[in-house]
Structure 1
Amino acid sequence: MFEDLRRHYVDLAQPRLGAEVTFATDDFFGDKARLIDPAEPVFIPDKYDEHGKWMDGWESRRRRTEGHDWCVVRLGVPGVVAGFEIDTRHFTGNYPPGAEIEACRSDDAVPDEQAGWTNVTGRLALNGDDRIYVPVEHKEPVTHVRLHIFPDGGVARLRVWGRVAKDWSTVGPDERLDLLAMENGGRGIIANDEHYGRIENLTAPGRGTNMGDGWETRRRRETGHDWALLELGAPGLIDEVVVDTAHFKGNYPERCCLQAAPEASGSPEEIAAQSENWPLLLPEVKLEPDKAHVFRDGIADRGPVRFVRLNIMPDGGVSRLRLIGRVAR
């Protein structure tokens, strides 16, 4: 189930989008910043620090007064939240038995009680060393979430799954931007193989930090080639394509091409089947290792496109894919 979430939504609380845990009532045992660490939580049996047992998550001290602990997460970009993933993995005798989540929209780092906080989950029962997904119905874009734990304890990770709510009215008719960028609502839908790196990395901000920060497939031992399917944040007219193989040196694809379509519908698997017959946006081009390839010539005029299929021949890794153009009005 958790893998399927990545096919439909973006984690709005990931640090590379600019998300930050801006406040916690207490993080004595576990730094509040760990709550949104993109890595999977780990347990290191013999690791201790000056406060005691080191735990990979946000953990407050044992509360000896009335009340409960809570923290505030400022999302990287405004978004419409579809659900929350609350992960208590490795917290067994120190997890909170209850939780609740609120959301609001604010320009403040730590919104106060006048910010219009809305309870979007109600009281939730938590178990130790567990991982749950809580869908919500909240149609308005938000910028912050507030996680309450009752009364204290540790939570390994909080994921805020949803869609980026880009305000396209602020983008001028002649303004060129990366319409596939995660911060503009672009997202990965499905790939035939994500053995070493996830498709979502193709849309992430900046250049990849290492080989793990890209999309990489296993070594192909059969005929054919690998592919990834992505959706732009808005329909657009593409006039520049950037295929960045940063850090991929002995494992970059030899060639690639792009197919595109103005619309698609159905499940990720159904859209993938449709994409086999989409027309070319960028014909087959040669790639080189550890390089940002910029293509302007040869891009077909397909009108407004919303979906693209990146084909790599035969396999390998790509760090980022950028589709530069104008929003279709």
Structure 2
Amino acid sequence: MADYPKERKPAGFPDFIHLIDLASETVGGKILFATDDFFAPAENLIKSDAPSFKAHEYTEFGKWMDGWETRRKRIPGHDWCIIKLGIQGIIRGFDVDVSYFMGNYAPRMSIQAANLPEDKLQEFPERGIRMGAEATSEEFEAIAELKSENWNYLVPMAELKPGNPSSSHNYFPVHSQQKWTHIRLNIFPDGGIARLRVYGAGQRDWTATDPKEPLDLVTIAYGGLCVGFSNAYFGHPNNMIGVGSAKSMADGWETARRLDRPPVLENDENGILLVPGCEWAVFRLGHPGVITQIEVDTKHFKGNSPDRCKLDGCILTTQEEEDMIKQKWDLPDHKWKPLLPVTKLSPNQNHLFDSLTLELQDVITHARLTIAPDGGVSRLRLKGFPSSICLLRPREKPSMRFSVKTGFRANL
């Protein structure tokens, strides 16, 4: 049995909330087990949207709550659940959100984690839709094989604070360089939690890649990350490098309408809109490599897709990246290598392009997508081959500061 941890207080407002939620249902996160789901099921913990409250809604078991809420415990022990991360990777911090759980939140919690190989995982009983239920003896027997009580503690037992009724976030940083696949959330002894966000970066074993099969080098699943953008009014650029196809416009990057667009729009002789200005997003690849194919998908953006786009790449060390973030990505133009020239885009359509680096075989570490004049893109895929060059040293704390153009609001 693992040593029981000492309590500690949560830290202040952190930078890691700009990273990826590795446990979200949108990236494949899944609840494997929960001791109790009486008032509200544990699946609510990993919903992608913010928690909500319905003042006058009740179920046959009690007050409707948008989170995980267990019954008032009348037997020895405490409640806990197991979450399989949708993206395996390095965890930088947690947000334990108890919004709207004012008189029934869990007063304390802790978080453990494990890196479990797929070939050693057995099939767990399907949970289905759970309410008014507790774990069965068969479920307890199946989950016992994981020996989760012995997993590593990423957050020792800590008090939770309710704060603002509609916005009660408890943040906990994590200082671990290890890859994790599963987490165990313990609440002491019972109660409710609205959402659990597991912020971090995906990680892939690049030594196991097929040298003949191109990979998406920018996807969040392999450690890709947006490190700067001009505008993110309706959707963050990290959405573009998410897992799977976009489910709606909310699952993409969408900017505000530029205020400098002319009163009457006109085309040039090539059918390109004569509109000043552009919006952009810069990404750090999961691994340095050569991009051979580019995918720009405007699915769901039917009346608000960009008129055109272009893509450039460059090589930056970790220090150079940090400098660029401070300078709001004012990188000299000659540093950027063109991967895709200015190209017309169509609404609600997936566009596939060959990269200009097919013959040059230029290795890049960062890519910049520029759209004009504004609009939305659901997915960006940069397929290619990882290179042995690696200029980015391992970082204890990845840069998570974002450059935002003056005059525009950023909804993160």
Deviations 1:196-229 (A, max 9, x none): 1121110012221111111000111124211111
Distance of aligned partners of 1:317 and 1:114 in 2 relative to their CA distance in 1, 3 Å threshold: closer
Aligned mates of 1:187, 1:255 — CA distance in 2: 23
Aligned mates of 1:116, 1:172 — CA distance in 2: 35
Distance of aligned partners of 1:24 and 1:11 in 2 relative to their CA distance in 1, 3 Å threshold: same
User: Do structure 1's residue 216 and structure 2's residue 254 form an aligned pair?
Assistant: yes
Deviations 1:176-207 (A, max 9, x none): 11111221222222321111112111001222
8 Å Cα contact 1:189/1:268 also seen in 2:
no
8 Å Cα contact 1:179/1:325 also seen in 2:
yes
User: Do structure 1's residue 326 and structure 2's residue 382 form an aligned pair?
Assistant: no
8 Å Cα contact 2:42/2:69 also seen in 1:
yes
Residue identity opposite 1:316 in structure 2: G
User: Do structure 1's residue 317 and structure 2's residue 376 form an aligned pair?
Assistant: yes
Aligned mates of 1:2, 1:161 — CA distance in 2: 14
Higher strand share: 1
Q: How does 1:250-329 map to 2 (within 5 A)?
A: 250-263=303-316, 264-266=320-322, 269-270=325-326, 272-275=328-331, 277=333, 278-296=336-354, 298-299=356-357, 301=360, 303-329=362-388
Unmatched tracts of structure 2, length 5 or more: 1-11, 125-142, 261-275, 389-412
TM-score, normalized by length of structure 2?
A: 0.75
Aligned mates of 1:118, 1:76 — CA distance in 2: 19
Partner of 1:239: 292
TM superposition shift of 1:297: 5.8
Per mean C-alpha deviation after superposition, the further-off stretch among 179-188 and 29-38 is 179-188
Residue identity opposite 2:203 in structure 1: A
Distance of aligned partners of 1:57 and 1:282 in 2 relative to their CA distance in 1, 3 Å threshold: same
8 Å Cα contact 2:88/2:221 also seen in 1:
no
Matched residue count: 328
TM-score, normalized by length of structure 1?
A: 0.94
Structure of greater Rg: 2
User: Do structure 1's residue 37 and structure 2's residue 47 form an aligned pair?
Assistant: yes
Per mean C-alpha deviation after superposition, the further-off stretch among 109-118 and 28-37 is 109-118
Q: How does 1:111-260 map to 2 (within 5 A)?
A: 112-113=146-147, 116-128=150-162, 129=165, 130-222=168-260, 223-260=276-313
TM superposition shift of 1:299: 4.8
The equivalent position to 2:82 in structure 1, one of 72, 78, 86, is: 72
User: Do structure 1's residue 12 and structure 2's residue 22 form an aligned pair?
Assistant: yes
Partner of 2:400: none
Residue identity opposite 1:206 in structure 2: G
Residue identity opposite 1:288 in structure 2: S
SS in 2 for 1:212: helix
Residue identity opposite 1:25 in structure 2: T
Aligned mates of 1:195, 1:234 — CA distance in 2: 28
SS in 1 for 2:322: coil
8 Å Cα contact 1:177/1:324 also seen in 2:
yes
